[in-house]
């Protein structure tokens, strides 16, 4: 069984993935996979520009609200051209596609076990949608969504924006969360094997709902 847990920052997806691994499937062989996109090619190209927008160039993925706003404005200027945004997204997609070869192999090697995936295709698509807008018609988006359809369960962990912001200190802004949540829901509706799980309240209730779906 392959289960993919996804959601906005602060939704509790990593906690839920951990509970699935250690509690729900504690008596079964279970493999946990963290498959977040690690930009390499594009990072190399944009790092000289990004250093001007962060406090710590060594950790250029960490930004406060003001830094993120300035960086997004700069990126929008660069990607204002449809051609530039399309080429950039293509480079990122190829980069991620190559990175996932190891993940795909690990899944194939453990096909007889339970597999819990934290961060993968959908998180990548949503992150890039924040940069480029709706990319549902792009070639690699369709490939990644098609691969998601082959998983047994996709659990989108949904929480209110304000709750997520309170839960995690390193979220840049409320607007950032609202944008990501909008795109997550847009793409989730395109996946027949995806379930929206509310995690606004007690996580034990969230786990019960997930277990009920798994046992149905």
Give the CATH number of the domain where residue 47 resides.
3.40.50.300
56 band by pLDDT with thresholds 50, 70 and 90: low
Q: With a cut of 80, say whether residue 69 has pLDDT above it.
A: no
pTM: 0.84
C-alpha span between 105 and 100 (Å, rounded): 8
**How many structural domains compose the chain?**
1
The residue segments making up the domain with residue 68 are 2-215
58 band by pLDDT with thresholds 50, 70 and 90: low
C-alpha span between 8 and 129 (Å, rounded): 13
Cβ contact 71:92 at 8 Å = no
């Amino acid at each position: 069984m392959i289960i993919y847990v996804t959601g906005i920052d602060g939704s509790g997806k990593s906690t839920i993935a951990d509970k699935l691994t250690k509690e729900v499937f504690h008596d079964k062989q279970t493999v946990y996979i963290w498959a977040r996109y690690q930009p390499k090619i594009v990072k190399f190209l944009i790092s000289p520009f990004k250093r001007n927008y962060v406090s710590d160039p060594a950790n250029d993925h960490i930004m406060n609200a003001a830094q993120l706003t300035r960086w997004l404005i700069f990126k929008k200027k660069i990607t204002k051209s449809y051609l530039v945004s399309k080429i950039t997204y293509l480079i990122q997609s190829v980069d991620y596609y190559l990175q996932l070869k190891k993940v795909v192999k690990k899944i194939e090697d453990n096909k007889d076990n339970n597999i819990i995936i934290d961060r993968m295709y959908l998180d990548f698509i949503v992150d890039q949608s924040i940069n480029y807008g709706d990319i549902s018609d792009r070639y690699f988006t369709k490939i990644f969504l098609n691969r998601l359809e082959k998983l047994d369960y996709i659990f989108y962990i949904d929480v209110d924006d304000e709750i997520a912001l309170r839960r995690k200190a390193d979220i840049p802004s409320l607007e950032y969360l609202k944008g990501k949540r909008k795109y997550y829901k847009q793409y989730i509706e395109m996946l027949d094997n995806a379930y929206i799980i509310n995690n606004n309240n007690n996580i034990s209730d969230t786990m019960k709902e997930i277990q009920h779906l798994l046992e149905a």
